[in-house]
Amino acid sequence: MRLYYGPGLCSQASHIALREAGLAFDLVKVDLAAKRTEDDRDFQSISPAGYVPVLEIEPGVVLTEGPAILQYIADRALSSGLAPANGSFERYRLQAWLNFVTSELHKGYSPLFKPDPPAEYKPQALALLGRRLAIVEQALAATPFLTGAGFTIADAYLFVVTGWSGFVGLDLTPFPNLLAFRARVAARPMVKAALAAEGLAR
């Protein structure tokens, strides 16, 4: 398998999941501005949408969209515990969290990276993110990870997305449970390995 990624972007969740799953894979860095891979291929010939992550399962067979890729990875390594069994209620709870992270958090952070947003936009966007993170904070008061005692692909995704907070000026100190969660995830050996491989070692 081959993961097309950008350092620190949402593709990092798939990168972490691949390492946690113990699957063999190659990393291919993408210049998203130029739409070129590090080996100088046209990235849009691989993924017409032109964004990461993209998982090339075999030549010509690609999967896009982070939540789908994360579940594919988890299902390739069932013994890893990265996702409950398909069809179980626990799996639907995991999918609910994946949906929440992608729609309520990821898409809330993304516009804040754009240059020169309207002056009134940023405070409103940060306030909305704060309300969404309060939901996560409450969930993490009862369990170390989103769905319980074990680390899952939803936790990898939440870790990556909330890691953007400092770049957009979102203070996480009102969310001590989230900060403790982030410390737990950051301490995992495979998370450290993924960050190092992306040139983001702490």
Confidence of residue 114 (pLDDT cuts 50, 70, 90): confident
Using DSSP's 3-state secondary structure scheme, residue 42 falls into: strand
Q: What is the pLDDT of residue 116?
A: 77
pLDDT score of 122: 87
Are 52 and 6 spatial neighbours (Cβ–Cβ below 8 Å)? yes
Where exactly are the structural domains of the chain? Answer: 2-79+190-197, 84-188
- How is 74-87 classified by DSSP, letter by letter? HHH-GGG-SSPPTT
Round to whole Å and give the CA distance between 125 and 146. 23
Cα separation, 198 vs 201, in Å, equals 8
CATH class of 2-79+190-197: alpha beta
What is the predicted pLDDT for the residue at 193?
98
Arithmetic mean of pLDDT, 9-21: 98
Topology, domain 84-188? Glutathione S-transferase Yfyf (Class Pi); Chain A, domain 2 (1.20.1050)
- If you average pLDDT over every residue of the chain, what do you get? 95
Task: Label residue 58 left, alpha or beta by phi (over 0 means left) and psi (-120 to 50 means alpha).
Answer: beta
Contact partners, residue 169, CB within 8 Å, separation at least 6: 112, 122, 126
The confidence score (pLDDT) of residue 202 equals 64
Mean pLDDT to the nearest integer, 49-53: 96
DSSP state of 148: B
pLDDT at 93 over 70: yes
Domains 2-79+190-197 and 84-188 belong to one CATH topology: no
Q: What is the mean pLDDT of residues 153-174?
A: 96
